[in-house]
Amino acid sequence: VDASADTEVVARRVAQAVDVIVACHTGILQRGREARRGADDALLAEASLQMDSSLDVEDTLRRVARIAVPAVADGCLVHLLRKDGPEFVAATHVAVQQQRALEAAGRDDPWLAALLAQRDDGDQALFLSGAALEGSPFAGPGPAGGGRHPTVVSVSTLHARGRVVGSITFVYQRPEDRLPDSAFLDSLATRAALAIDNALLYELRRHAVLSLQEHLLPSQLPAAAGWDLSASYEVGDPMLDVGGDFYDAVPRPDGSIALLIGDVCGRGAEAAALTGLARHTLRTLLEEGTDPGTALSRLNRALRQEGASRFLTAVVVTMAPRADGTVLLTTCSAGHPRPLVLRADGSISEVVSGGLLLGILDDVSYESHEDFLAPGDTLVLFTDGLTESREADGTYFESVLPGRLAALRGSDAAQVAESLARQARIFRASGQDDIALLVARWNGITPSDGLLPLETLLEQAALR
């Protein structure tokens, strides 16, 4: 500006230019903050979607680590809080070699273990850098060291529903302006904690359901000469509570064996109580030698006396070896799916049976039907969870069951039970009912085994 210039005018114009520059800079910063906030919100929404899509604990933890790297940080460690302290469960890093070192630090490093043990439910995200990282695995050439930017570490406590479930540790090796703020990390930690806690609660519930289900079923099936017995139980969905399917195999005083299988309507505590009542009532009666029809009638009477609000189906089959090497089947059903027989030649036959559901009417009698097994034949009892498994096109497994069973000709009882349960599980696109199978294969018996019923031995002696 020379001497002829109007300094006041120049000053005003310079001030105006400065105002424009400041306004532009402010606008750029504001738009940058808005863009950053929008990106953070999008990341949080995607993180919630990804983490909530699984109820498997390990899968959820891996998702937490994968979502954070590299969008949030260069490395990530996830720990669960156990009774004896933090437990390392997942880690990831943008560099494979550094990931291995990061995993080792997460498992065994005393500095990190001491740091995590000091965190509590009220802590916000803690940032550490420089001298604060001395003695840590992140100082110098540690898991995230050796780069162009100083290493920064943040630790966020994972707390959900009033309790600490773990912690998430982020490792940064990037410019300071690219570090996330505490509010974002706290929000991400809250979402991760809820997802992990949901997965943990699901796992606890699943374990409780499976444990209770196991106690409602026999711990093992009896061993009997000439017989190959096996069973399979597939829980449809543990989150739906305890199912009402049950089965048992009962040795009888005359040397025969009684098979029973049933299905209580519904799920939950009441269904579990009726399941226990039905199985133990039938087992006690059959052990005493009660015939199948009478056993079902007495169970029906007990259900009516107890005022049970649910009905159930059941089928009882007694299997008595005969002198000619065959087995007499006496079957009595209370509205249950008919058992199938896989003959030694691969043909399939249906065991005739039918009767009213249990727990509906008073004073119901049940009719018995007789059939037979020859050596090499296999009897298959099942609940409707098997036949009602349905494909996406609406096809029921019931329509393909005979063919699938025939293909198992020559298989032992365990192979038949496990294969049919597995095939039904793969087959179904809908349906959450439990699947129970009880399989008995008759291999034949000789008098030298010494385990034939007394009546059969006398009959064989008379024939000789």
94 pLDDT higher than 50:
yes
Q: Let me know: does 239 contact 296? Beta carbons within 8 Å.
A: no
Distance CA 16, CA 10 (A): 10
Backbone angles phi, psi at 328, to 5 degrees: -85, 120
Which has the higher per-residue pLDDT, 460 or 108? 108
| pLDDT tens digits along 106-164 | 988 889 888 888 766 556 788 888 888 888 888 765 444 455 567 888 998 888 888 88
Residue carrying structure tokens 């024939």: 463
Lowest mean pLDDT among 140-149, 189-198, 237-246, 347-356: 140-149
Distance CA 222, CA 255 (A): 12
Q: Residues 193, 199, 203, 209: what is their CA dihedral angle, to the nearest 10 degrees?
A: 120
In the CATH scheme, what is the homologous superfamily, with its name and number, of domain 219-463? PPM-type phosphatase domain (3.60.40.10)
DSSP lists the bridge partners of residue 439 as 230, 380
CA distances from 120 to 65, 123, 155, 164 (A): 21, 6, 11, 7
**What is the reported pLDDT for 464?**
42
Distance CA 300, CA 280 (A): 13
Q: Where in the chain is the domain with CATH 3.60.40.10?
A: 219-463
| pLDDT tens digits along 50-82 | 666 677 777 777 787 788 888 888 888 988 888
447 pLDDT higher than 70:
no
Q: Let me know: does 373 contact 442? Beta carbons within 8 Å.
A: yes
3-class SS shares of the chain: helix, strand, coil, % to 5: 45, 25, 35
Q: What is the mean pLDDT of residues 40-44?
A: 65
**What is the reported pLDDT for 461?**
45
Q: What is the C-alpha radius of gyration for the chain, rounded to an integer number of angstroms?
A: 35
Cis check for the bond before 70: say yes or no (omega within 30 of 0): yes
Question: CATH assignment of 48-208?
Answer: 3.30.450.40
Query: Could you tell me the two tokens for 130?
Result: 């420089």
Distance CA 135, CA 442 (A): 70
| pLDDT tens digits along 22-37 | 888 788 767 766 666 6
List of residues 6+ apart from 233 with CB closer than 8 A: 213, 217, 245, 247, 421, 434, 435, 436, 437
Residue carrying structure tokens 């691969």: 346
DSSP lists the bridge partners of residue 396 as 390
Strands 327-334 and 312-321: antiparallel
Residue 378's pLDDT band (boundaries 50, 70, 90)? Answer: very high
Give the full edge-to-edge strand order of the sheet including 75-82: 85-93, 75-82, 163-172, 152-160, 126-129
Residue 460, Cβ neighbours under 10 Å: how many?
15
* Percent of the chain surpassing pLDDT 70: 84
One-letter amino acid for residue 390 of the chain: R
Q: Where in the chain is the domain with CATH 3.30.450.40?
A: 48-208
Residue 381's pLDDT band (boundaries 50, 70, 90)? Answer: very high
460 pLDDT higher than 50:
no
Out of 117-126, 344-353, 441-450, give the one with best mean pLDDT: 344-353
Q: What is the mean pLDDT of the chain?
A: 84
